[in-house]
């Protein structure tokens, strides 16, 4: 890094041989941003002369100057107001001229904003004691609950620091106009954001994955007094559609057209994706890919949170998938790259025991697969050079992560020329996926591998059995996003695992209550169906003689005559799990949901869409009231769908955000979508966003495939 001099503005100092500002503009360009406004303070003319109209950095530039002698009011908030006319009503990215982040994090920021629109999306870095910038407090869903500007040292109870790169919608401007200058004469941006939080605006945060620096020590910051005040970058006219099409975002392949029923072959769009992927592969790895694998995501029609209880589910594969192009290596290294820059390149050695990347790293899904593959390969497995292209929206309850595990498994098996039956993999991979710390069941992997085009799949577990189920003629399945991300690797994982633990606790209580009437201990609640054939599972609720309220482990242990320590150990209750478990409700949902899957299969076999729709709606109510996995946005989405003319609507997947699945008569689909856009999406999406990016119709697809190329 160059040294600060009195005459060189900080953004023009060289970092790795290039002015800092060019690093920043290059990152914005790669993220798909075409226009930027630069607001300068002192020595702005040097920056203008250096960058000109921006042709050299691939971003069209315009400038605003703040007269530092005249304008006593400084600070980023003031600079933003100066750029107001150029920014218009579009969402825009803001960054300081001296905050340098890994360029791919700009792309990640925009992808996150498109996936879950909000009023402000700010970036975070993790520090020991956030005292230099604003300390940021977030909830489990990365919603910002508090922002404290420059807190006294040692007082923060958060490790998240505002990293100084934001996406804003125009909603910020009235708050900026109302700001009062701070004691330093600065108009502090965090004050405006804090006021927005207080007013109930949606302010979210995204931790940066890579490098961050504000270039400095406190001395650097003091020197920045003489540097330009702020740089403001606006996005082009249609920011939510214009940027990279390779994100795992909903925009990738949406269509309002009804798909042809039962499409079993790769359609033209998928072929184009494969060709493009192979082209990129050659560029990146300098040789041709030897194979391409494809693993689809899924939507579950009915049977939520039943799979890990050994009870049936009814999903189908969607037309979004993970593609991986690959070729074997001669050593045991696995190199995995993603066409979406947000997912950083990873490499590791395939072996019997592979140490994990830090929790939350996408590379762990690949390692989960590699660990499983190592078991199937005799001798030393070879590694592979892999390139991933996924278009399943992530954190949407559509199983993007399991599709990645399935695809990586198939890719590494192909590299090693090892053949394993899909049904065997479907049984084995759920356990492999626990590598990432989720206690999930087997639905996602099984349907991704075994789905049949044009059909839903009834899946039973332990042992795994599948059978196709027809869909009612004349009806379409519509998937709608609630605009809330359900991150499987973050808060939603904890909430999900907690439900699994609650079901284990129910097993212990039933064992105690049934006593010698039970031939053996229960591995899962589904064992009751095997041990007492013909007896409705809901009958067993009467053995749960517990108050219908959250109970502590100590209370449950006392009720069944065991010690809390033993119960914790038996059910893997973690030391950090708080102590309130809702057993009666959880059991009621699981038992009733399993019965609904049986009834639903009957309805579908006789083509009764209306009865099936009612079962979907009943399932949603049970997910909401007894399993408590819904959220206000999912509720609003289901209500909007009922009013828009669906015959059945429910959340799908793990819950806590993500998508709903809706059954709609084909003749009503056009009106249904119009109403959803008008009633649900229009009031919630920022100007410029396109509702069509958040809901889609699809034909059920076949399961995973491996193509030699
Ligand atoms: C997630 C899990 C599945 C299943 C669903 C809920 O998708 O991965 O195994 O439990 O939630 O039905």
| Best mutation site among 296, 302, 307, 464 for ligand 1 pocket (most ligand atoms within 8 Å of CB) | 307
> Does residue 261 register a pLDDT over 70?
no
The angle at the Cα of 298, spanning 295 to 301, to the nearest 5 degrees, equals 155
Residue span(s) of the chain under CATH 3.30.70.890 come to: 491-698
Structure tokens at 561: 């005559």
* Confidence at residue 139, expressed as pLDDT on a 0 to 100 scale: 83
CB 441 near ligand 1, within 6 Å: yes
**233 in Cβ contact with 28 (< 8 Å):** yes
| Residue 537 DSSP class | G
Q: What residue owns the CA closest to ligand 1's atom 2?
A: 440
Q: What is the 3-state secondary structure (H, E, C) of 344-364?
A: CCEEEECCCCCCCCCCCCCHH
* Confidence at residue 248, expressed as pLDDT on a 0 to 100 scale: 20
Statement: 268-470+703-708 belongs to CATH 3.90.1150.180? no
User: How far, in Å, is the centroid of ligand 1 from the Cα of 304?
Assistant: 7
**pLDDT tens-digit series, residues 55-97:** 888 888 888 887 666 555 566 777 788 888 887 777 888 887 6
Q: Which atom of ligand 1 is nearest to the CA of 303?
A: 12
Distance CA 182, CA 75 (A): 10
Q: Which atom of ligand 1 is nearest to the CA of 402?
A: 8
A 10 A CB-CB count for 495 gives: 16
Distance CA 320, CA 403 (A): 10
Tell me the pairing of strands 648-651 and 659-665. Answer: antiparallel
Distance CA 50, CA 34 (A): 18
Q: What residue owns the CA closest to ligand 1's atom 1?
A: 654
Distance CA 635, CA 619 (A): 13
CB 440 near ligand 1, within 6 Å: yes
> Does residue 241 register a pLDDT over 50?
no
* Confidence at residue 486, expressed as pLDDT on a 0 to 100 scale: 81
Distance CA 207, CA 250 (A): 21
User: How far, in Å, is the centroid of ligand 1 from the Cα of 151?
Assistant: 41
CB 298 near ligand 1, within 6 Å: no
Distance CA 626, CA 631 (A): 13
At a CB cut-off of 8 Å and minimum separation 6, what does 308 contact? 439, 440, 441, 442, 500, 503, 524
Cis omega (within 30 of 0) on the bond before 358? no
Residue span(s) of the chain under CATH 3.30.230.10 come to: 268-470+703-708
CB 365 near ligand 1, within 6 Å: no
**Overall average pLDDT of the 159-167 stretch:** 87
As a whole number, the mean pLDDT across the chain is: 84
> Does residue 690 register a pLDDT over 70?
yes
CB 654 near ligand 1, within 6 Å: yes
Distance CA 383, CA 508 (A): 43
> Does residue 245 register a pLDDT over 60?
no
Q: What are phi and psi of 141, to 5 degrees?
A: -100, 20
Burial of 358 from C-beta contacts in 10 A (0-12 / 13-18 / 19+):
exposed
The count of residues in the chain is 709
Predicted confidence band of residue 514 (pLDDT cuts 50, 70, 90): very high
Q: Which atom of ligand 1 is nearest to the CA of 430?
A: 9
Q: Which atom of ligand 1 is nearest to the CA of 441?
A: 9
At a CB cut-off of 8 Å and minimum separation 6, what does 539 contact? none
- Picking from 630, 503, 631, 508, the residue whose alpha carbon sits closest to that of residue 564 is 508
Whole-prediction pTM value?
0.66
At a CB cut-off of 8 Å and minimum separation 6, what does 516 contact? none
Q: What residues act catalytically?
A: 444
User: How far, in Å, is the centroid of ligand 1 from the Cα of 588?
Assistant: 18
**364 in Cβ contact with 357 (< 8 Å):** yes
Q: What residue owns the CA closest to ligand 1's atom 11?
A: 654
User: How far, in Å, is the centroid of ligand 1 from the Cα of 404?
Assistant: 15
- Picking from 170, 232, 179, the residue whose alpha carbon sits closest to that of residue 201 is 170
Q: Which atom of ligand 1 is nearest to the CA of 654?
A: 11
H or E stretch covering 213:
strand 212-213
**372 in Cβ contact with 351 (< 8 Å):** no
Q: What are phi and psi of 134, to 5 degrees?
A: -95, 135
Of 146-150, 214-218, 234-238, the range with the lowest mean pLDDT is 234-238
Structure tokens at 695: 């809901």
Buried b (16+ CB within 10 A) or exposed e, 117-148: bbbbbbbbbebeebbbbbbbbbeebbbbeebb
CB 369 near ligand 1, within 6 Å: no
Of 110-114, 257-261, 384-388, 596-600, the range with the lowest mean pLDDT is 257-261
Which CATH number is associated with domain 491-698?
Answer: 3.30.70.890
Structure tokens at 578: 């708080």
User: How far, in Å, is the centroid of ligand 1 from the Cα of 272?
Assistant: 31
**pLDDT tens-digit series, residues 600-623:** 999 999 999 999 999 999 999 999
**pLDDT tens-digit series, residues 527-572:** 999 999 999 999 999 999 999 899 999 999 999 999 999 999 999 9
- Picking from 339, 336, 331, 358, the residue whose alpha carbon sits closest to that of residue 347 is 336
User: How far, in Å, is the centroid of ligand 1 from the Cα of 148?
Assistant: 37
What superfamily does domain 10-232 belong to in CATH? Spore Coat Polysaccharide Biosynthesis Protein SpsA; Chain A (3.90.550.10)
Q: Which atom of ligand 1 is nearest to the CA of 399?
A: 7
Of 153-167, 352-366, 432-446, 594-608, the range with the lowest mean pLDDT is 153-167
**193 in Cβ contact with 147 (< 8 Å):** yes
**Overall average pLDDT of the 389-417 stretch:** 94
Residue span(s) of the chain under CATH 3.90.550.10 come to: 10-232
CB 307 near ligand 1, within 6 Å: yes
Structure tokens at 626: 């007894």
């Amino acid at each position: 890094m160059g040294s600060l001099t009195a005459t060189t503005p900080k953004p023009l100092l060289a970092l790795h041989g290039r002015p800092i500002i060019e690093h920043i503009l290059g990152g914005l360009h790669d993220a798909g941003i075409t226009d930027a406004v630069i607001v300068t303070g002192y020595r702005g003319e040097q920056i203008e002369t250096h960058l000109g109209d921006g042709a050299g950095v691939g971003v069209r530039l315009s400038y605003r100057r703040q007269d530092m002698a005249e304008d006593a009011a400084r600070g980023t908030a003031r600079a933003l107001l100066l750029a107001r006319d150029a920014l218009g009503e579009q969402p825009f990215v803001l960054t300081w001229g001296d905050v340098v982040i890994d360029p791919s994090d700009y792309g990640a920021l925009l992808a996150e904003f498109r996936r879950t629109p909000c009023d402000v999306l700010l970036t975070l870095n993790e520090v020991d004691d956030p005292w230099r910038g604003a300390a940021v407090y977030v909830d489990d869903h990365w919603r910002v609950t508090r922002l404290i500007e420059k807190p006294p040292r040692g007082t923060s109870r958060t490790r998240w620091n505002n990293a100084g790169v934001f996406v804003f919608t125009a909603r910020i401007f009235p708050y900026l106009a109302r700001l009062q200058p701070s004691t330093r004469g600065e108009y502090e941006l965090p004050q405006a954001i804090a006021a927005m939080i207080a007013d109930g605006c949606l302010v979210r945060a995204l931790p940066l994955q890579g490098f961050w620096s504000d270039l400095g020590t406190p001395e650097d910051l003091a020197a920045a007094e003489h540097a330009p005040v702020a740089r403001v970058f606006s996005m082009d006219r249609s920011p939510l559609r214009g940027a990279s099409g390779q994100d795992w975002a909903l925009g990738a392949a949406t269509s309002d057209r009804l798909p042809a029923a039962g499409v079993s072959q790769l359609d033209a769009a998928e072929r184009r994706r494969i060709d493009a992927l192979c082209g990129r592969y050659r560029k990146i790895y300098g040789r041709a890919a030897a194979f391409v694998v494809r693993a689809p995501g899924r939507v579950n029609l009915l049977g939520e949170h039943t799979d890990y209880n050994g009870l049936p589910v009814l999903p189908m594969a969607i037309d979004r998938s993970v593609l991986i192009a690959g070729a074997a290596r001669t050593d045991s290294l696995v190199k995995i790259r993603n066409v979406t820059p947000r997912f950083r390149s990873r490499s590791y050695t395939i072996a019997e025991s592979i140490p994990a990347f830090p929790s939350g790293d996408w590379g762990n899904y690949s390692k989960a697969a590699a660990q499983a593959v190592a078991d199937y390969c005799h001798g030393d497995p070879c590694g592979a050079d892999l390139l991933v292209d996924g278009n399943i929206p992530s954190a949407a309850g559509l199983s993007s992560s399991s599709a990645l595990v399935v695809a990586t498994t198939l890719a590494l098996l192909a590299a090693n020329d090892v053949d394993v039956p899909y049904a065997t993999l479907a049984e084995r991979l759920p356990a492999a996926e626990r590598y990432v710390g989720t206690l999930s069941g087997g639905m996602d992997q099984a349907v991704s591998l075994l789905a049949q085009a044009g059909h839903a799949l009834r899946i039973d577990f332990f042992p795994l059995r599948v059978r196709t189920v027809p869909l009612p003629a004349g009806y379409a399945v519509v998937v709608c996003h609630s605009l809330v991300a359900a991150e499987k690797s973050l808060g939603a994982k904890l909430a999900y695992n907690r439900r699994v633990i609650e079901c284990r606790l129910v097993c212990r209580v039933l064992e105690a209550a049934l006593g010698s009437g039970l031939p053996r201990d229960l591995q899962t609640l589904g064992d009751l169906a095997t041990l007492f054939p013909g007896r409705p599972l809901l009958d067993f609720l009467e053995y749960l003689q517990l108050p219908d309220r959250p109970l502590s482990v100590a209370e449950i242990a006392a009720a069944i005559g065991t010690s809390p320590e033993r119960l914790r150990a038996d059910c893997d209750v973690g030391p950090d799990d708080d102590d309130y478990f809702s057993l009666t409700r959880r059991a009621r949902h699981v038992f009733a949901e399993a019965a609904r899957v049986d009834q639903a299969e009957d309805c579908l076999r006789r083509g009764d869409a209306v009865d099936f729709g009612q079962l979907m709606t009943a399932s949603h109510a049970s997910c909401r009231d007894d399993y408590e996995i819904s959220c206000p946005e999912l509720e609003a989405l289901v209500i909007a769908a009922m009013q828009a003319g669906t015959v059945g609507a429910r959340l799908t997947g793990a819950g806590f955000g993500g998508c709903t699945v809706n059954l709609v008569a084909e003749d009503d689909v056009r009106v249904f979508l119009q109403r959803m856009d008008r009633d649900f999406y229009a009031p919630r999406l920022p100007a410029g966003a396109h509702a069509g990016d958040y809901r889609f119709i699809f034909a059920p697809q076949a399961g995973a495939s491996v193509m030699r190329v």
